[in-house]
Amino acid sequence: MNSFKRPDAYWKKDVALFLNKRFALIIKLLYPMAIIVPVALSPIPPEFAAAVVGIVAVMAGTFGAGESLTVDLNDGILARVALTPLPPGRIVLELLLVNAVLDFLQLLPGLLIVLFIYGPEPVWALAALFSVFMTLMAANCIGVFIANFTSSPADVLLYAVVILLPLIYLSGFFRNQDPQGLLAVLRDFVPFAYMNDALREVFGAAAIGHGPPAIFAFPTLIVALMVLGIYRLGPRLLSVRV
């Protein structure tokens, strides 16, 4: 922990904030469990249990990255980071990956408890963990994308809701659980949908349409394209705004 007391790279700032305050770290690890574990133990239908866990992952990734960047923008930190010789795209990619890993570590204890309670097949357990991480990568991409167009943390929340609502609908968390035609095609392009399928299997409901091979392959391709887009937006994110 002490190695992160004085960050010498931008991405280490978030790691330092995550690790240095032990009480805050405990809270960060406990609050997802406080939502996930009661849901796992409750008698609600498995598809809705999967939806709740999925939305926790989506919200954690999107709001965390977007708010953090807008706060740093207002504090002038991004302007100073832009003066370093590192390529803007690399800085943004490091930030993206680190935030996704930190978000995953926050969710991991709750997810492991769910896997212990329900005991799914190993391939579905791995698919669930992998798809949650891919969802966090995608959600952080959305958060970084939003931060390119606003310097207000409040606006990040507003814009995130506007973007996430149709994606949550298409993913089939609560509605669109039997997609047909165009809705089925659109669902295949939303990375959250693959997490929803994996979590449904874990909780005991049948996946809507994707097996483990698709859950490992397609989110990887979709998130890779999203990351490429965020890489191209790096110079804009670090540019001076008036």
Residue 1 lies in a domain: no
pLDDT at 86: 79
For residues 176 and 188, the answer to whether their CB atoms sit within 8 Å is no
CB burial readout 196-223, b (16+ within 10 A) else e:
bbbbbbbbebebbebebebbbebbeebb
Structural domain including 230 reads 24-237
Residue 11 lies in a domain: no
Residue 197 lies in a domain: yes
For residues 93 and 87, the answer to whether their CB atoms sit within 8 Å is no
Q: What is the rounded CA–CA span in Å between residue 107 and residue 60?
A: 9
Residue 12 lies in a domain: no
pLDDT at 1: 45
> Using one digit for the tens of pLDDT, what is the confidence trace for 131-162?
999 999 999 999 889 888 887 877 888 888 89
Taking phi over 0 as left and psi of -120 to 50 as alpha, with beta for the rest, 210 belongs to beta
> Using one digit for the tens of pLDDT, what is the confidence trace for 195-232?
999 999 999 887 777 889 999 999 999 999 999 999 98
Residue 14 lies in a domain: no
Q: What is the rounded CA–CA span in Å between residue 91 and residue 11?
A: 8
Residues 6+ apart with CB under 8 A from 125: 115, 202
Q: What is the rounded CA–CA span in Å between residue 12 and residue 92?
A: 13
The count of structural domains within the chain is 1
Tell me 4's DSSP state. G
CA angle 35, 192, 203 (to 5 degrees): 50
pTM tops 0.85: yes
Is the confidence at residue 24, as pLDDT, over 70? yes
Average pLDDT, the chain: 86
Q: What is the rounded CA–CA span in Å between residue 88 and residue 236?
A: 9
Residue 242 lies in a domain: no
Q: What is the rounded CA–CA span in Å between residue 169 and residue 157?
A: 18
Is the confidence at residue 58, as pLDDT, over 70? yes
Residues in the chain, overall count: 242
Residue 195 lies in a domain: yes
Taking residues 102-112, report their average pLDDT: 93
Residue 143 lies in a domain: yes
Tell me the helix, strand and coil percentages in the chain, rounded to 5: 80, 0, 20
